[in-house]
Chain A
Amino acid sequence: MNGIHDLGGMHGFGPVVREKDEPVFHAEWERRTFGLLTATLALRRYNIDEFRHAIERMDPVRYLESSYYEHWLHALETLLIEKGVLTQQELNNRTAELAKGVS
Chain B
Amino acid sequence: MLRPEQVEEAVKTGGSTRRPDDRITPRFKTGDAVRVRNRNPTGHTRLARYTRGKRGVIHHDHGVFIFPDTNAHGRGEKPQHVYSVRFEAAELWGEPTSLRDAVYIDLWEDYLEPA
Contacts and interface: CB of A to CB of B under 8 A. Distances in A.
Chain B interface bracket (under 10, 10 to 19, 20 to 34, 35 or more):
20 to 34
A1 B6 CA distance: 33
B50 A49 contact: no
Interface residues of A, number: 18
B115 interface: no
The interface centre, meaning the residue of A2, A6, A43, A53 with most chain B CB atoms within 10 A of its CB, is A53
A7 B46 CA distance: 6
B64 interface: no
B71 A47 contact: yes
Interface in A34-86: 38-39, 41-43, 47-50, 52-53, 56
B50 A8 contact: yes
Interface string A22-39: 000000000000000011
Q: Which 10 A-B pairs have the closest CB atoms?
A: A8-B48, A49-B72, A53-B44, A49-B68, A53-B72, A49-B71, A42-B2, A7-B48, A6-B49, A42-B10
